[in-house]
Every structure is written in structure tokens, then in C-alpha cells.
Amino acid sequence: MKRTLSLSAQTEVENSQHRASLEKKPHDVSKMFDDVAQHYDLTNTVLTGGLVHVWRKVTREAVGARVGLKVLDVACGTGASAAGYAADGADVIGCDFSPGMIARGRELHPGLDLRVGDATALPFADEAFDVVTISYGLRNVVDTQAALRDMLRVTKRGGKIVVAEFSQPTNPLFRATYFEFMRLGMPLLSTIFSSDAPAYDYLRESIQAWHSQKDLAAVMHEAGWRSVEYKNLTNGIVALHRAIRK
């Protein structure tokens, strides 16, 4: 299960305006994303070596957006995924609690319906959407269960959830190399390409502390989702979980 690491993280929050603790507080998380919003998409591309675009494509296929479907992208950030679902013809809303990320998304994707809102108290009616999805957001939500339950509430019966999230590489040698890259390479790259390098220390720590593929499937089931299944992308750097509201 998810490890709640305290490290010296609390102290780091106190010393920095910019990064959240692993004992996350919603305001710290929201502020941290406000601060990285301007260069968020570029930094994502650099830190993942472009793989984020491959993962978004696979996620987009799993979401299966099309004309007539109502899709909610929770923790949508700057709308990079939501824009794809809209391009596929769906009626899409993106929702995120960082006003900075939403503002940047509106600049990048004029006309896309992006709203400020909390994943744990979604400002939508029960059973309003055919598909709810969240990419690289669930790990950042303070109360994972509350978000999964509220996403269930706004999904129609028979509708689905798609979760894309960093996970645990399955091959031990690959996993060791990957975590070593994160420890050594990520601070360097984030210093060069991001306006806020400490936020990317949080990124690394939060990925290492997050659920394994199997554990996240169990957490989703506990929240009320059924027929939970997952597949690994790039040897499990990312996992794509899917489930149904029965």
C-alpha cells in the first residue's frame, strides 16, 4: 500500500514556497501547481523524454471519446489530455483545483471547457458523465478514496473510469536504473527546464511512495469501482487502470 513518508518533507514545505510535503495539504499542492503552470507541459515532455505523449495516446484510446459521450477529466492541469478527448468529438469538461493550471490551460486551449474544482467534491450532478478520467492527478490528491468515490458518484451506471498514473516498473534491473535516473537526472533536468525545481523533488518522492499496480486496483475496488483491470506502459513506469460503475 501507499507509504506515507514523512522524511524531512514537512520541514521542506516550511522552507519553500514551492513544493508540497508527502503529507500533502491541499493548499500546498494547489500552490505548487500554480507555480509550475507556465512551463508544466514543456517540463513534462523533457523529464519523460517525450514518453508522456505516447502515454497520453494510449490513455486517449482507453477513454474512447467520441461524439455523444460526456467525459470529465479530473485534475486536468493545463488540459493536455482533455484537449485530445474534445478533438475526438466528446463533450468534455476539465476540472482542476489549481487556478494557475486552469488559467494556463485556457491560454493553450481556447474554447476548451476548463473549470476550477476539487476532485474530492466535484461540482457536478450525480451520474452526469459516461467516462471519468484522471491522468497523473490521483497521486497528488490528498484523499485518494474521497476522489475515487466522488468520481464514481458523477459517473453514469455502466460508465467507466480511466486512471493513468506513475507506477512501479516490473523488471527489477529496469526499476533500479529508473529510480537512479530519478534521483540523479531529474534534479538536473528540472533545474534547467522548470521554473520550480523543488516541486520536481516532490514529484520523484511522490512517485516512489505511490501504490503498486495491484494495490491501486484494490483501492479502486474499495471505492466502489468494479471489473478493475490495469495494463503497464513502458514496463510499468506508468500504469493504466480501468474500471466500471455497475
Ligand X SMILES: C[S@@+](CC[C@H](N)C(=O)[O-])C[C@H]1O[C@@H](n2cnc3c(N)ncnc32)[C@H](O)[C@@H]1O
Report which DSSP code applies to 160.
E
97 interacts with ligand X by CB under 6 A? yes
Q: Which of 21, 38, 140, 167 binds ligand X (CB under 6 A)?
A: 140
d(CA 82, CA 242): 17
90 interacts with ligand X by CB under 6 A? no
Beta bridge partners of 242: 162, 229
Q: Which is nearer to ligand X, 119 or 217 (CB)?
A: 119
> What's the length of the chain?
246
**How far apart, in Å, are the Cα atoms of 63 and each of 69, 75, 86, 204, 226?**
10, 15, 11, 27, 16
Reference 237, options 182, 197, 191, 183; nearest CA is 182
Grid coordinates representing 95 are 476540472
84 interacts with ligand X by CB under 6 A? no
Please state the closest distance from residue 36 (CB atom) to ligand X, in A.
9
76 interacts with ligand X by CB under 6 A? yes
16 is in an annotated binding site: no
21 interacts with ligand X by CB under 6 A? no
36 interacts with ligand X by CB under 6 A? no
d(CA 145, CA 160): 17
29 interacts with ligand X by CB under 6 A? yes
Strands 155-166 and 238-244: antiparallel
119 is in an annotated binding site: yes
105 interacts with ligand X by CB under 6 A? no
Q: Which is nearer to ligand X, 96 or 201 (CB)?
A: 96
96 is in an annotated binding site: yes
d(CA 236, CA 218): 17
Q: Which is nearer to ligand X, 206 or 213 (CB)?
A: 206
33 interacts with ligand X by CB under 6 A? yes
Q: What is the 3-state secondary structure (H, E, C) of 56-100?
A: HHHHHHHHCCCCCCEEEEECCCCCHHHHHHHHCCCEEEEEECCHH
Beta bridge partners of 91: 70
Per-residue string for binding with ligand X, 168-207, x by CB under 6 A? ----------------------------------------
Residue nearest to ligand X (CB): 77
101 interacts with ligand X by CB under 6 A? yes
Q: Which of 21, 30, 38, 194 binds ligand X (CB under 6 A)?
A: 30
Q: Applying CB under 6 A, which residues contact ligand X? A: 26, 29-30, 33, 75-77, 80-81, 96-98, 101, 118-120, 135-137, 140-141
**Which residues define the annotated binding site for S-adenosyl-L-methionine?**
78, 96, 118-119, 135
